[in-house]
Structure 1
Amino acid sequence: MSNKTAAAPSEFDTLGRSILPIPDRAFVGLTTYDAKDPNTAYPPIKALRPPSKAPNVLVILVDDAGFGSSSAFGGPCHTPNFEKLAAGGLKYTRFHTTALCSPTRQALLTGRNHHSVGMGAITEMGTSAPGNSGVRPKNKAPLAEILKLNGFSTAQFGKCHEVALWEVTPVGPFNQWPTGSGFEHFYGFVGGEANQYYPGLYEGTKAIEPDKTPEEGYTLNNDLANRAITWIRQQKALMPDKPFFVYYAPGATHAPHHVPREWSDKYKGKFDAGWDKLREETFARQKKLGVIPADATLTERHAEIPAWDDMDPQLQPVLTRQMEVYAGFMEQTDHEIGRVLDAVRDLELMDDTLIYLIIGDNGASAEGTINGCFNELPTLNGMPDIETVEFLRSRVDDFGTPKAYNHYAVGWAHALCTPYQWTKQIASHWGGTRNGLIVHWPNGIQAKGELRHQFHHVIDVAKTVLEICDLPEPTIVNSIAQAPLEGVTMLPTFSDAKAEENHVVQYFEMMGNRGLYLKGWTACTRHRTPWKADVPPPFDEDVWELYSPDDWTQSNDIAAKDPKQLAYLQRLWLIEATKYNVVPLDDRGFERVNPDIAGRPQLIVGKSQLLFQGMRVSEACVLNVKNTSHTVTAQVQIPDKGAEGVLITQGGEYGGWTFYCKDGKLKYCYCFFGIEHYIISSDDKLPSGAHQLRMEFKYDGGGLAKGGDVSLYCDGKAIGKGRVEKTQPMGYSADEACDVGGDTGSPASPEYGNSGNSFTGTIDWVQLDVGEDNHDHLIKPEDRLRLAMARQ
């Protein structure tokens, strides 16, 4: 099945496309009185199509994968489908990202530098500065919008981490969601990461649940592939002459590293020699493949990264299991991407589909700490010491399963960025920004299995796609005059391995880590380390390094030998930074997370919040009840046979709390990182009828993460009490929601399962309140009305 019946020029090739949507052409001619008049003639209505030469476009972006991870680039993770794609196309060995996910994705999708489109860091760290706002400017329309308005079918599957934090709600606004950014269809998750067994999914802008449980074989990787295959088949069945643009961005291989055992067990024993040996083995394979030069130097391991032999021998079996799980995760990802590629091949579309496979939106993640973690949430909450060596050893068999929320150790991340220094977040060095790229397009690329060594950046993809599709950069989109794309075309390299390099200068910056590329030269400075919480030095005290054009791996710092060249590049960096809204530099941590200080909107303000049955909202959209006294009140109707199920919950199996009914009794469970569960129950079963149920948490105070006393009430009468000894200070979950009337995702209490936990009665409303307990155990109707009106 081909998407075009002929390659000959069509009437669509003559359309003016610089203004989008393409203006309607008014009919000027004879207008008759009677449609039956033989002189009645109007041109037929024709559905818009792109120029005749436009191929299908499939952009695949793997998450958190270092240059040395995939076997296609010499890594230890078996990726036969990546290798097969490369054998039929080109491998780019000097392709670059921004060192972090949201910035790379927004740069890819817009063809502009990440600060230029407001994405200086992740959306959760947006500030009021233009380069860090998390808001895409209206004069920089995304590629999907341009292609859609030129007649492409467009769809996105997987991760979307480009929505401003205060807009991730069931009521929008949705202009930065995929369906507001040019994609006609979206199936995936909105945020930085997803539980591969219990993802928080959206179809369009509607929250939905997976159709299977982990026990039934569900994984997000498989689900996304199924959805993409179905959509592509349907699109070609209904509109075979219309090309598609599909953006496929699985949550893999970002933490949590979740994969069924049949994948991870393939790698049993393969990493027992440790990460230093893995670097050496990968380095040798990379030279053999030619993805690095034969005279390249393996960079030294920095002192901040421990040697394998210096790790506790008692911990080493846990560390090797971490890497076995990750490798299996990558291989499963390759398998599911391969299924999507096979679907394109089965439809006989492979020859005329331009495929970009980008293996990583940044380097491998070093956010898992020196020891790695079974549950990354304690680390994200600033409490990594909870997971002792003994604890990790006790959970080694559960890594990668639904019981875990695991991440590997820093040493593995460094090894997976071989042969370069550093990792994800380190925008100063290639380990953070250099990722393997495969381009496949038989109708446009005659070469098979060749390498390309020209310097390119993720902002070059959009420019190249438009040129291949014979589409101009629009001057106006949706009535807004457009700024130019900031990338360059890669098309000359498709046919010429020795094509002149046209991406001659590129700045890099991520939370103070910064660098500049100029015609082979690189100047860079590392300002902060991902796994360290120490305060970074003043920017002017950062030490800059200089690497010459013949230094492929940035292994020989010549700053002291050529200070004049270093000063020249430093000045150019500042010019580029000023041009693209990089300044003011911002290395703040807590301040950027706090919306009051950062200067971005905050969705929930005040000390009360009203919620209703059926709502599912992200943690950022819920009143913060951490580190303070608070109450949860629910007005309910309990059936005659008694009540079961969840009233309200936040978080899940890896951390959170839930207010629910079990065996007719009212209960509250606080799940402390999945390690401890504090369950408080009413003494007796609840009576049927209309009742107000309440949980009061009296916080101990005296700092973060303290415990508190819990009291349960029914209609103002005390019916149970208990104790929570410790709490999570900053976050319950990385991706699970607050649910009213059930518990989607993983269960926050061990007393109910991951399905069948919906409340069996009726919930009129649920109210959250923070502040000291005033001992008024009933919410009056006028108080509830006043709160509701305040939200209008």
Structure 2
Amino acid sequence: MENAGRVGITYADSDPWWPEPPRPREGSPDVVLIVLDDVGFGTLGCYGSEIRTPTMDALARAGLQYTNFHVTPLCSPTRASLMTGRNHHAVGMSLLSNADSGFPSKRGTISPNAATVAEVLKDTGYSTACYGKWHLAPLDQTGSAGPFDQWPLGRGFERYYGFLEGISDHFHPELVQDNQRVDPPKTPEEGYHLTEDLIDHAIDFVSDQKSNAPDKPYFLYLALGAAHTPHQAPREYLERVRGRYDIGWDEIRAARHREQLRTGVVPEGTDLAPRNESVVAWDELSEDDRRAMARMQEAFAAMVEHTDDQLARLVAHLERLGVRENTLIILMSDNGASQEGGRDGTTNTIAYENGDAVTTADNLAGLDDIGGPRNHSNYPWGWAQAANTPLKRYKQNTHAGGVRAPLVVSWPAGIAVRGVRSQFHHVIDVTPTVLDIVGTAMPELRAGRPQLPVHGTSMRYTFDDPATPSRRHTQYFEMYGHRAIWHAGWKAVAYHERGRSYDDDAWELYHLDTDFSECHDVAAEHPEVLANLVGRWWSEAERYDVFPLDDRNFAERAARYHSATSPRRRRSYRYYPGMTRVPGGITPLVYDRSFTIDAAVRMERDDKGVLLAHGDVCGGHVLFVKAGELRYEYNHQGTRYHVKGAIPDDAAPRRLSMHFTKTGVRRGRATLLCDGSEIGTGEIASTARYLIGWQGLTVGGDSLSPVSWDYEGGFPFTGILEHVDLALAADGPHEVHEVID
């Protein structure tokens, strides 16, 4: 902007001038974008569920409820599309941000050529804040030394508080504030829960904004961890739903379907999809199975109801400040309900990621802890399909259960005709809608970089005309090799079995205009329509950089592929006291290999505490001192191996060590040493395949979700810990190229 002032020798012969800051269009609303996690189409009360969500239902009644809204089948890709208005492969997020697989569409990050809605709104004159789940930074770039360019503050947000990873323990979250890792403000015993904490921060942000810059609109991105596994809620919410789901998923699904038909959430004549493969009729399950599985669904429902009550606090705050009228609230889910609990459900979610089953006996052993801080539960396939009523399949899949999601838009000042909207739309349409309302556009050039064209279409045309035809005509889908395409009311979809040739996948065809729930495959009746759609899929896939197809799970990719600067290319690590937690994405790859831990200490006989801890209640390992002994515990998905060695009475230890020697596939021997002398040994019969635990690594204590039950309160080391060395041998299956020694 040209300087309109004049600078003379003194102020008396100078003309002052102040540059005009960017300002959004007069009357632009505050924008609150709320993203729920793994909440299927049939989960909220306004979408037919018995789960009590009065706050979200009220937003739907006072605004718009979309029934033909689609997302990608997984969280990071949906969030990348949501933030940019572009298809996820095209911006580099084909799967999760956990790994860079070495291809343009699989970088695990959003391209700088795809500006985010936060960046554009900040440039337009909005304040911006993000609270909650990010999962858009490569996980090997989430350490406290950065790089920070893909953290929220690097992608357009001015304030951030939440978690960078894809999953969080809601009682023991690994939190980041702005670019700094921080500890939760309270413990679970003091009443802490992550959702309440995030809403507290959101409320404080709005208060700051309206107090200090009342005429400046804001963009608040509230990405809740609920209701992603682990399903956790305060005890009173768990008790409130106790016994509600003893009737089983068949009756619940049928009741939701009836309510959807009654309220018009689904068109008249919509069929309830048959049970997905491997989902057993509830009445055919054993009493033990039903008991454990009902408890898992209770935890999920309690978490959703708790979330709704927290959102009520935010909405009430907007009303109390008198700003609700011109606040645009968009509420959606990132994908369909999760199949990651497996057939029987689980009380240990790390087991699923490692490809291992958890038995009903295991689940029953942790029954009373389900929903609390002592285990991580996820419900079985039967409840996941109920969450997606009336649809088939789940998150990760490109059938409707994975990609048709709830969407509610509420803006009292801008929506005159309330009610249900049935136009086809996709998550790439949300950013264009917000920019349309604000009166700005995605730039062609930003920060010196040419920008990808926006792929989505504004939904604003639907606000005032419920019957207007959809302005979207084509949308492709792909995830883990599952493929689909929607075009002009028809959908072709191919379910892919991992490891099978893509040529062997069978394409199904559904006419969604008359078959909402994808129950009637008409591929044989309309081969020409199917051929046209399959051809379109290949064309769209080429256009949006889908290739190469890759059906490997994310845990395998995360263990094998690392960016050129990833700490996981190293074989040796030295950790110093005072460092913040090392996040899971850059912890040493101890999987199925020999390794050593050596702690340099100065200590007295009575000193105690954790030297190194990695993981959480689901799995991990920890080296600690207690009662005159050096102890090592390997927690393999809840199976705990203990090795102990007495520290000699006359010793003044300077080095306490654990040497793990691989003796077979995912097994080995742990040897404990004091100043180089062996003091104990034991067998570790099973170790992790890809992931040891969700949480990261600390030295000098274990402050969040504990690896071991043999200590409490973080168990800080009371001696002097100088440093801890961890060294990896070259005998593991997850060797990386160009290792840095």
The verdict on a shared fold, with TM-score over 0.5 as the criterion, is: yes
Q: Please tell me whether the aligned partners of residues 162 and 177 of structure 2 are also in contact (alpha carbons under 8 angstroms).
A: yes
Q: How large is the RMSD of aligned CA atoms in angstroms? A: 2.1
- Residue pair 1:133, 1:600 contacting (<8 A) in 2 also: no
Q: CA deviation at 1:320?
A: 0.9
2:696 alignment partner, one of 737, 740, 743: 737
Matched, 1:524 2:493: yes
Read off the aligned partner of 2:529 and give its amino acid letter.
Q
CA distance 1:207–1:685, shift in 2 (3 Å): farther
Deviates further, 679-688 or 626-635:
679-688
Q: Does the CA-based 8 Å contact 1:648-1:660 persist in structure 2?
A: yes
Shift of 1:418: 0.7
Q: Could you tell which deviates more after superposition, 625-634 or 281-290? A: 625-634
Q: What secondary structure does 2:67 align onto?
A: strand
Partner of 1:636: 601
Matched, 1:513 2:473: no
**Which whole-Å deviations, capped at 9, do the CAs of 1:261-282 have from their partners, x for residues lacking one?**
2112222222222111111100
Q: Deviations over 1:393-448 (max 9, x none)?
A: 23222211111111100110011101111111112x11110111110111111124
Structure 1 partner of 2:464? 495
Task: Mark the CA change 1:685 to 1:95 in structure 2 (over 3 Å): closer, same or farther.
Answer: farther
Question: 604, 610, 622: which is aligned to 1:646?
Answer: 610
* CA distance in structure 2 between the aligned counterparts of 1:749 and 1:138, rounded to whole angstroms: 42
Amino acid paired to 2:665? G
Shift of residue 624, structure 1, vs aligned partner: 1.8
Q: Which runs of 5+ in 1 are unaligned?
A: 1-24, 529-534, 774-789
Q: Deviations over 1:356-396 (max 9, x none)?
A: 000x2111001101110111222222221xx3323322322
Alignment correspondent of 2:405: 435
- Mapped pair 1:382 → 2:355: yes
2:351 counterpart letter in structure 1: P
Contact 1:682 1:721 in 2 (8 A): no
Aligned to 1:10: none
Select the residue among 699, 703, 706 that pairs with 2:665: 703
Deviation of 1:723 after TM superposition, in Å, equals 4.1
- Residue of structure 2 in register with 1:158 after alignment: 132
Point out the more displaced range, 570-579 or 549-558: 549-558
- Counterpart position of 1:411: 382
Change (3 A) 1:174 1:585: same
Question: Following the alignment from structure 2 to structure 1, what is the Cα–Cα distance between the partners of residues 424 and 564?
Answer: 36
Per the alignment, do residues 648 and 686 of structure 1 end up closer, same or farther by CA in structure 2, a change over 3 Å counting? Answer: farther
Query: What is residue 520 of structure 2 aligned with on the other side?
Result: 556
* 1:58 and 2:32 matched: yes
User: What is residue 347 of structure 1 aligned with on the other side?
Assistant: 321
- Verify the 8 A CA contact 1:163 1:176 in the aligned structure 2: yes
SS in 2 for 1:272: coil
Counterparts of 1:710 and 1:422, CA distance in 2: 47
- Asked if the contact 1:58/1:355 (under 8 Å) is kept, the reply is yes
- In 1: Cα distance, 2:649 partner to 2:191 partner: 37
Aligned counterparts, 1:210-225, within 5 A: 210-225=184-199
Secondary structure at the aligned position of 1:696 is classed as strand
Output the CA distance in 2 between the equivalents of 1:284 and 1:653. Answer: 40
SS at match of 1:115: coil
In the alignment, the residues of structure 2 paired with residue 611 and residue 666 of structure 1 have an alpha-carbon distance, to the nearest angstrom, of: 19
1:623 equivalenced with 2:593 (yes/no): no
User: CA offsets, 1:605-637, max 9 Å, x none?
Assistant: 243221111231123312222322221111123
Whole-angstrom CA distance in 1 between matches of 2:194 and 2:328: 25
Classify the secondary structure of the residue corresponding to 2:434.
helix
Q: CA deviation at 1:598?
A: 7.9
- Partners of 1:31 and 1:367 in 2: CA distance: 66
SS of 2:727's partner is: strand
Residue 50 to residue 335, structure 1, CA distance change in 2 (3 Å): same
Task: Call closer, same or farther: CA 1:265–1:29 in 2, change over 3 Å.
Answer: closer
Q: Where do residues 531-610 of structure 1 align in structure 2 (5 Å cutoff)?
A: 535-548=498-511, 549-589=513-553, 593=557, 596=560, 602-610=566-574
Map residues 63-74 of structure 1 onto 2, 5 A cutoff. Answer: 63-74=37-48
Match of 1:373 in 2: 346
Shift of residue 457 of structure 1?
Answer: 0.6
Opposite residue 466 of structure 1, the aligned amino acid is L
For residues 439 and 561 of structure 2, the distance between their equivalents in structure 1, rounded to whole angstroms, comes to 46
* 2:422 counterpart of 1:453: yes
Distance in 2, matches of 1:647 and 1:380, equals: 27
Aligned to 1:777: none
Partner of 1:15: none
Identity of aligned residues (%): 37
> Partners in 2 of 1:594 and 1:401 — Cα distance?
28
| TM-score, normalised relative to structure 1 | 0.89
Corresponding pairs, count: 732
Counterpart amino acid of residue 472 in structure 2: H
TM-score by length of 2: 0.95
Aligned to 2:676: 716
Matching residue's letter, 1:571: G
CA contact (8 A) 2:171 2:193 kept: yes
Kept in 1: contact 2:273–2:392 (CA 8 A): yes
Contact 2:4/2:17, CA 8 A, preserved across alignment = no
CA distance in 2, matches of 1:355, 1:347: 16
| 1:50–1:150 Cα contact (<8 Å) kept | yes
Residue type of the alignment partner of 1:745 = L
Label 1:477 to 1:114 Cα distance change in 2 as closer, same or farther (>3 A): same
Residue in structure 2 matched with residue 763 of structure 1 by the alignment: 721
Residues 1:44 and 1:624: Cα distance change in structure 2 (over 3 Å): closer
CA distance 1:596–1:718, shift in 2 (3 Å): closer
**What is the deviation of 1:30?**
4.7
The answer (yes or no) to whether the contact 1:126–1:600 under 8 Å persists in 2 is: no
Matched, 1:335 2:305: no
Q: Distance in 2 between matches of 1:47 and 1:513?
A: 47
In structure 2, do the counterparts of structure 1 residues 503 and 772 end up closer, same or farther at CA, with 3 Å as the change threshold?
closer
Change (3 A) 1:36 1:334: same
Q: Is the 1:475–1:481 contact (alpha carbons within 8 Å) kept by the matching residues of 2?
A: yes
Query: Do the aligned residues in 1 keep the contact of 2:351 with 2:637 (CA within 8 Å)?
Result: yes
3-state SS of paired residue (1:279): helix
Mapped contact 1:591–1:598 kept (Cα < 8 A): no
- Asked whether 1:726 is paired with 2:691, we answer no
1:611 alignment partner, one of 570, 575, 584: 575
1:32 and 2:5 aligned? no
Please tell me whether residue 692 in structure 1 is matched to residue 655 in structure 2.
yes
Query: CA, structure 1 residues 374+29, in 2 after alignment: closer, same or farther (shift >3 Å)?
Result: closer
Whether the 8 Å CA contact 1:633–1:693 is kept in 2: the answer is yes
Deviations 1:702-750 (A, max 9, x none): 212x24142222x22334444434333332212x110012113112222
Report SS of the residue matched to 1:635: strand
Whether 1:391 and 2:354 are equivalent positions in the alignment is no
Matched with 2:300 is 326
Contact in 1 for aligned 2:645/2:672 (Cα 8 Å)? no
CA pair 93-685 structure 1, distance change in 2 beyond 3 A: farther
Q: Tell me: CA distance 1:720–1:553, structure 2 relative to 1, closer, same or farther (3 Å).
A: closer
Deviation at 1:507, TM superposition (A): 0.5
Per-residue deviation at 1:502? 0.5
Structure 2: distance between partners of 1:383 and 1:274: 25
- Using the TM superposition, name which of 655-664 and 509-518 deviates more: 655-664
Deviation at 1:767, TM superposition (A): 0.7
Letter aligned with residue 712 of structure 1? L
Q: Closer, same or farther in 2 for the Cα pair 1:185/1:28, shift >3 Å?
A: closer
Report deviation, 1:663.
Answer: 3.5
Contact 2:76 2:136 in 1 (8 A): yes
Equivalent-residue separation in structure 1 for 2:636 and 2:470 (angstroms): 54
- The CA distance in 1 between the partners of 2:386 and 2:6, in whole Å, is 73
Q: How many angstroms apart in 2 are the aligned matches of 1:539 and 1:749?
A: 44
